[in-house]
Amino acid sequence: MSTQTDRGWVARILGVAAGDLPLEGTIGSFDGATAWLNSAPLTPASLRGHVVVVQFWTYTCIN
């Protein structure tokens, strides 16, 4: 899948125009990651040129 196709797919899922997706810059390292789900460990270099959506959560209360 090309980068343009990736952006179009993510835009459709999110219900926005591909041109409206932000380009946030470079991705940081994953040095603190202790486990991976459904894949081998990933690196920023292996993700270059791909759309990356990062979802994270915490168990702490923010109130």
User: What is the mean pLDDT of the segment spanning 52-60?
Assistant: 73
Instruction: Calculate the alpha carbon distances from 31 to 24, 26, 27, 56 in Å.
Output: 20, 15, 12, 15
DSSP secondary structure string for all residues of 1-30: --HHHHHHHHHHHHTS-GGGS---------
User: Residue 13 carries which side chain, given as an amino acid letter?
Assistant: I
Which residue reads 């979802």 in tokens?
Answer: 55
pLDDT in tens, 22-35: 777 777 777 877 78
Q: Where are the domains of the chain?
A: 1-18+49-63
pLDDT in tens, 8-17: 887 888 888 8
| 0.75 surpassed by pTM | no
Determine if residue 19 is left, alpha or beta; phi over 0 gives left, psi from -120 to 50 gives alpha, anything else beta: alpha
